[in-house]
Structure 1
Amino acid sequence: MADTKTQTTRKRKRRPVSVSLVVWGSFLVGILGSLGFNIASTVITNGWGPAVAVAMLWPLLNLGAVEMMIRVPWPRGNGWTALRYGPTGAVALISFGISYSHIHHVMSTIGEASFSAMAAPLAIDFLMLLSGVALVVLHSPKPPVRRRKAAPRRRPALATA
C-alpha cells in the first residue's frame, strides 16, 4: 500500500539564498542611507542632541512596519488585508516625506546641484520601497497557478459545390 502522504506532498522550490541577500542588503542600504542623511540634517541644523534620536525614528518606523507586514502570520480576509497594508502604507508615506526633506536639506547644504538634491532622496527612498515590496513578495504564499482550459478545436467547414 502506497503512502498517501508521500504522494500528495509536493516539493517546494527553494529560491537561491542570493535573492534574499540582495533584497535584504538593498533594504538595509536604504535604511542606513536614510538614517545617515536624517542624522546629518539634524546635526547641521541643531547640532548633536535629542533631535538626533527623533531623526533616527523615521527609517526605523519603516523597517518595523515592513518587518511586521512580512513576518506576522496574518489571517486571510479583506479586513485583515486592509489592516496589514493600510498602516504600512501610511508609515511609508509619512517617513518618505520626512526623509525626503532631510536628504534634500543635506544635499543642498553641501553644495550639490539642484537636480542631485532633488533626485538623491528619491533614489534612496525608492530603493527602500522596492526592496520592501520584494520582501513582501518573497514572504507571501504563492497563489495556485491557474491553467486556462484549452479551447475546443474547430473543424474546418466542408466546402459544398
Structure 2
Amino acid sequence: MHNIKESKVRTDGNPASALAIASQPQIDNVMKIEQGFQQQQPPSLHPFLDDPVLPVLVKRLFPPSSHARVVEELTRFGNDINGYISDLGKFVGPPTLIQYDHFGQRIDQLKTSEGWRQLKQVAAKEGMVPIAYDRANYGSLARVLMFIKTCLWTGDSHTV
C-alpha cells in the first residue's frame, strides 16, 4: 500500500545519529481520510409511521373514538423527533455533579448542557410523565401511549 524508500542520509559523522535518521522510513503514498471508506448516513425514517409494528399496535389497542387523535399525536411527535429534537442532540453533554467548590466546600451542584435543558423542556411539553395518568382522555391505555412515545423518543432523548 505504501512505498517505503530507504534514503541516503548525510550526517555529521556520528554513527549513532546516522543510524537513527536512516532507520526512519519515508512514506510516499499516504492515504487521506477522504480516500477511505465513507459510510453513508442512514435514511431518516419516521419513528412512528415507518415502524412495522407500532401503527398496527395502535390500531389494534386504541378504540375508534381515540384512535385518530392518538395517531395524529404520534405522527406530530415523530415529525418533531426528525426535526428540531434530533438537532438538539448536537448540544447535549452528559450531566455532571460538582460536589465541591474551589475552596473545598460541599455544594452538590448538577451541571447540565443547554441541549439537555431544552430536551427536558420537550419532555415536559410532550407530557412524557403525566400522559401515563391521563385516564380522562386515554382511559386504561394511557400508560400504553406513554410507553409508545418513550419508545419513539429513546434514540434522541439522551437520557433526559
TM over 0.5: same fold? Answer: no
More helix per residue: 1 or 2? 1
- State TM-score, norm by structure 2: 0.37
Larger relative contact order (CA 8 Å, sep ≥ 6): 1
Please identify the structure whose Cα radius of gyration is greater: 2
- State TM-score, norm by structure 1: 0.37
